[in-house]
Structure 1
Amino acid sequence: MRTLVTGLRGFTGRYLQAELEAHGHEVVGLKADLTDAAVLADEMKRVQPEWVVHLAGVAFVEHGDPNDFYRVNLMGTRNLLAALANCGRRPECVLLASSANVYGNSTEGVLTEATPPNPANDYAVSKLAMEHMARLWLDRLPIVIVRPFNYTGVGQSESFLIPKIVNHFRRRVEAIELGNLDVWRDFSDVRAVAQAYRRLLEACPIGETVNVCSGRTHALREVLAMAGKIAGHAIKVKVNPAFVRPNEVKTLSGDPSKLLSLIGPWETPPLEETLRWMLKDGMQ
Structure 2
Amino acid sequence: MATNKRALVTGLTGFTGRYVEAELVAAGFEVYGIGERSSCLPRYTQVNLTDRSALHRVVAACQPDVVLHLAGVAFVVKADVDAFYQVNTLGTHNLLDAIATEAPKVGCVLLASSANIYGNSKQGVLDESTLPNPANDYAVSKLAMENMARLWFDRLPIIITRPFNYTGVGQSEAFLLPKIIGHFQRKASTIELGNCDVFLDFSDVRAVANAYRQLVEVRPIGKVINICSGKSHSLQEVVERVGKIAGYAIQVKVNPSFVRKNEVRSLLGSAELLRSIIGSWNIPPLNDTLEWMYHSPLP
**TM-score range with shorter-chain normalisation?**
over 0.9
Deviation at 1:184, TM superposition (A): 2.0
The equivalent of 2:42 in structure 1 is none
For structure 1, the residue ranges without an aligned partner over 5 or more in a row are none
Q: Which stretch of structure 1 is more off in the superposition, 86-95 or 4-13?
A: 86-95
- Is residue 90–residue 141 contact of structure 1 (8 Å, CA) maintained in 2? no
- C-alpha RMSD over aligned residues: 1.6
Deviation at 1:95, TM superposition (A): 0.2
The equivalent of 1:27 in structure 2 is 31
- Structure 1 position 57 matched with structure 2 position 72: yes
The DSSP-based 3-state class of the residue aligned with 2:160 is strand
Provide Cα deviations, 1:10-32, integer angstroms capped at 9, x if missing partner.
Answer: 00000000011011011110222
Rate the CA distance shift 1:246–1:79 in 2: closer, same or farther, 3 A.
closer
Deviation at 1:254, TM superposition (A): 0.3
The equivalent of 2:107 in structure 1 is 92
The DSSP-based 3-state class of the residue aligned with 1:237 is strand
- 1:13-162 alignment to 2 at 5 Å? 13-30=17-34, 31=45, 32-162=47-177
The DSSP-based 3-state class of the residue aligned with 2:67 is strand
Deviation at 1:122, TM superposition (A): 1.0
Q: Which stretch of structure 1 is more off in the superposition, 246-255 or 9-18?
A: 246-255
Deviation at 1:121, TM superposition (A): 1.1
TM-score (norm 2): 0.91
Counting aligned pairs with the same residue, the percent is 62
The equivalent of 1:9 in structure 2 is 13
- Is residue 214–residue 267 contact of structure 1 (8 Å, CA) maintained in 2? no
- Is residue 120–residue 266 contact of structure 2 (8 Å, CA) maintained in 1? no
The equivalent of 1:217 in structure 2 is 232
The DSSP-based 3-state class of the residue aligned with 1:109 is coil
The DSSP-based 3-state class of the residue aligned with 2:31 is strand
The DSSP-based 3-state class of the residue aligned with 1:120 is coil
TM-score (norm 1): 0.96
Q: Which stretch of structure 1 is more off in the superposition, 124-133 or 99-108?
A: 99-108
For structure 2, the residue ranges without an aligned partner over 5 or more in a row are 35-44
Structure 2: which amino acid aligns with 1:2? R
Q: How many residues align?
A: 284
Q: Distance in 1 between matches of 2:219 and 2:169?
A: 28
Q: Distance in 1 between matches of 2:264 and 2:210?
A: 30
Q: Distance in 1 between matches of 2:282 and 2:269?
A: 13
The equivalent of 1:169 in structure 2 is 184
Deviation at 1:282, TM superposition (A): 2.4
Rate the CA distance shift 1:64–1:234 in 2: closer, same or farther, 3 A.
same
Structure 2: which amino acid aligns with 1:168? H
